[in-house]
């Protein structure tokens, strides 16, 4: 009877292993995002008084504006 039960069970990856891999990928993604966002770029061509702006602020502004615009009701007549 136990042999029948063991044959029906499929090998399963433990949830803790899956969570560990997901956390590893998330940490790697956050590390890359932090490396990119700590870069500085020149904005004197757009605003003469602005010298250098961190990319992180631009990312935050773009995500925030995208979120705000996604929540607005959009009525287009095509």
**Low-confidence residues in the chain, pLDDT < 70:** 1-8, 13-15, 76-78
- According to DSSP H, which parts of 1-78 are helical? 2-8, 15-37, 55-71
pLDDT of residue 25: 92
44: DSSP letter: T
**What is the phi/psi pair of residue 68, to 5°?**
-65, -45
pLDDT of residue 5: 59
Please name which of 76, 6, 47, 63 lies closest in space to residue 55, comparing C-alpha atoms.
63
Q: What is the pTM of this model?
A: 0.48
CB atoms closer than 10 angstroms to residue 31: 10
pLDDT of residue 1: 52
Q: What percent of the chain lies above the pLDDT cut of 90?
A: 1
């Amino acid at each position: 009877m136990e042999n029948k039960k063991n044959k029906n069970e499929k090998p399963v990856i433990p949830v803790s292993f899956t969570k560990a891999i997901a956390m590893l990928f998330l940490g790697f993604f956050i590390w890359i995002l932090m490396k990119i966002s700590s870069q500085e770029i020149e904005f004197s061509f757009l605003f003469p008084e602005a010298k250098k702006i961190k990319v992180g602020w631009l990312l935050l502004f773009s995500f925030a504006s995208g979120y705000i615009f996604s929540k607005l009701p959009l009525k287009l007549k095509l």
